Amino acid sequence: MNILENNDTVKQQYATAAKLENRISLHEKYSTNKFGWFNWLYSNYDIKPGDRILELGCGNGKLWAEHYSDLPEHVSLILSDFSESMIKTAKELIGNESISYQTIDVQDIPYPDGCFDIVIANMMLYHVPDIEKGLLEIKRVLKCGGKFYAATLGENGIAGFIRKALGLPKTDGMKFTLQNGTECLKPHFSRIEIKLYEDSLAVTDTNDLISYIRTLMWTDELQKIPDSVIFSMLEEHKKDGVITIPKEYGTFIAYNE
């Protein structure tokens, strides 16, 4: 099993919001696309007045902290996560009594068939041990005509750059990426679109990148390597004071027609 698909590893990784917030911070500080990832995600959502929305894996809730006020009238929003700590953090960040919060495992969604107009699962399906079971559950709770939004990353982005820069072998492929996500979704949804977010990182402070690296799930491989050595290896990729790192992000829109 890939480390990203191990429930114990995921629980440990998201026991607090600190690591996630560190990763978000690097993107906010060094992303070259200034429109912003959360702004872009929200701009792709087709939300109508009265829609009922379930987000799975809401993380710290930053998307809705920025965009809840933009929702149409009478929308019902349920934010859920596998981690109770993330739910607590989202509540604290958003502070809106109109939102419902719940701890949910995507493999066992505690709602009846066909009760949501929209289901959202951003940057989380590659963590799910049984993705087929998760997708069956998502389809089950979607109404006919409902939409499933699933943002994810590609196989040629930040992690690949970092591993190559540090001389680490390429990892096993993840089960839900921009490259293979369509094949995962095809058995469950009648129509699938993919939209790509053009972006990169332009990192000027190598120590910020090291802090980011230390939060990643696979960095147990680097535990015995001091920061000073990692710093030197990364500095070799700096040109004119900048380490340019490709990002490969996007979202799938799957229609339950």
Question: What are the CA-CA distances from residue 95 to residues 65, 120, 231, 233 (Å)?
Answer: 8, 20, 39, 42
Calpha distance 12→28 (Å, rounded): 24
Q: Is residue 213 a part of any domain in this protein?
A: no
pLDDT score, position 196: 98
Q: Is residue 224 a part of any domain in this protein?
A: no
In the chain, pLDDT over 70 holds for what percent of residues? 93
- DSSP letter at 57 equals S
pLDDT at 1 over 50: no
> Structural domain of residue 75, as residue ranges?
3-199+246-256
Q: Is residue 81 a part of any domain in this protein?
A: yes
φ and ψ of 91, to 5 deg? -60, -45
205 or 95: which leads in pLDDT: 205
pLDDT at 5 over 60: no
Out of 46-55, 137-146, 156-165, least confident range = 156-165
pLDDT at 171 over 90: no
Residues 40-56 have a mean pLDDT of 98
pLDDT at 76 over 70: yes
Contact 257, 190 (CB under 8 A): yes
Distant-in-sequence contacts of 21-27, Cβ < 8 A, 24+ apart: 21/60, 22/211, 22/212, 22/215, 23/212, 23/215, 24/60, 24/62, 26/201, 26/203, 26/208, 26/209, 26/211, 26/212, 27/201
Q: Is residue 133 a part of any domain in this protein?
A: yes
Q: Is residue 125 a part of any domain in this protein?
A: yes
Calpha distance 137→104 (Å, rounded): 12
Tokens linked to 237: 């990729």
Compute the mean pLDDT over every residue in the chain, rounded to the nearest whole number. Answer: 91
pLDDT at 8 over 70: no
Q: Is residue 58 a part of any domain in this protein?
A: yes
Calpha distance 19→5 (Å, rounded): 18
pLDDT score, position 17: 61
pLDDT at 228 over 60: yes
For residue 3, what pLDDT band results from cuts at 50, 70 and 90? very low
Residues 54-77 have a mean pLDDT of 96
CATH of the domain at 184: 3.40.50.150
pLDDT tens per residue across span 116-145? 999 999 999 999 999 999 999 999 999 999
Q: Is residue 194 a part of any domain in this protein?
A: yes
Domain count, the chain: 1
pLDDT tens per residue across span 18-38? 777 888 899 999 999 999 999
pLDDT score, position 193: 98
Q: Is residue 115 a part of any domain in this protein?
A: yes
pLDDT at 157 over 70: yes
Other CB atoms within 10 A of residue 173 CB: 11
Instruction: Go through 181-206 and write b for each residue having 16 or more CB atoms within 10 A of its CB, e for each that does not.
Output: beebbeebbeebeeeebebbbebeeb
